[in-house]
Amino acid sequence: MSQAAHTVSDMNPPRSEMLSLFETPEWLRIVGVFDLETTGVDVTTDRIVTAHVGLLDASGAVVRARDWLADPGVEIPEGAAAIHGISTEHARAHGRDAAAVVAEVVQALRALLDAGIPVVAYNAPYDFSLLKNEALRHGIDPIAAPFPVIDPLVVDKAYDRWRRGKRTLSVVAEHYAVRLDGAHEAAADAVAAGRVAQALAERFAPWLPPTAHELHTRQIAWARAQAESLTEYFIQIGRIEPHDRLDGSWPIR
C-alpha cells in the first residue's frame, strides 16, 4: 500500500490504543526474553537442552532472536523429551558443545542486562538458577545477580492474587489473551512470557512502579511473601512438614 493510500484511521489510532500507549511504562517498550528447556527440574543437577534469548518491541513483535540446541552430555530422560521434543539422539546428532552454548547464552543475557534492558523470564528462579549452575559446571563466570528481571508469574500473583486456577504459562497466557503456539519450546515460551508481561503492564499500569529497577525490587518481596503463603497452605493440607519451607529467593536461588 502506498503512503497516500493510508486512511485517517491508520494514522490516528483509536483512543483506547492511545491511552494504552501512554499508560504502558516506558521500560516495557523494549524487553528481553529468556527461556530454557532442560533435562529435568533440578536446577543444581539438570542440564540445558535448548535456550532462547530475544528482544520484543512495544507491540510484542520479535525484533531480535537467538536459539541454541545443546548436547547436554547426559541422557535426556524420556519424560523431559516428551515435554520439549528433544531426544538424546537428536541432541547428540545436532546439538553443540554444552560449554559453548552456556557461554553464549550467558553472554547474550549479560549484554541485555548491562544495557539496562529488563529481561522477562517466567518463573525466573528456575531458568536463572539452572543457568548459573551450568556456568559454574563449565568454568564460566555466572550471572550471579541478574538485574533488572521481570517475572510475569510473580507479577500476576501480586496483582491478581485471588484468581482461581493454575498459574502455568499456558494458562496465564490464555487468561491475558496471549497466543502461545508450541508450548514447552524455548522460543515460543520466551516470547509468550514477554507478551504476558506487556499485557500485565497494560492491565495494571496505574499501580506499576515507574521503573524496571523498582519493579525488580518489589518482586523480591512479592516472591518471598508468595512462597511463605504457599508454604503455610502446603503445611495445612499435609503436603510438606511444618519444619519445611519453600525457598522464596528471587530472581535466583
Task: Give the predicted TM-score (pTM) of the model.
Answer: 0.89
Per-residue pLDDT of the chain (253 residues; tens, 9 = 90+): 333 333 223 333 333 343 444 466 888 889 999 999 999 999 999 999 999 999 999 999 999 999 999 999 999 999 999 999 999 999 999 999 999 999 999 999 999 999 999 999 999 999 999 999 999 999 999 999 999 999 999 999 999 999 999 999 999 999 999 999 888 899 999 999 999 999 999 999 999 998 999 999 999 999 999 999 999 999 999 999 999 999 999 999 9
User: Can you give the pLDDT at residue 183?
Assistant: 82
> For the chain, which domains are there?
24-236 (3.30.420.10)
Three-state SS string across the chain, please?
CCHHHCCHHHHCCCHHHHHHHHHCCHHHCEEEEEEEEECCCCCCCCCEEEEEEEEEECCCCEEEEEEEEEECCCCCCHHHHHHHCCCHHHHHHHCEEHHHHHHHHHHHHHHHHHCCCCEECCCHHHHHHHHHHHHHHCCCCCCCCCCCEECHHHHHHHHCCCCCCCCCHHHHHHHCCCCCCCCCCHHHHHHHHHHHHHHHHHHCHHHCCCCHHHHHHHHHHHHHHHHHHHHHHHHHCCCCCCCCCCCCCCCCC
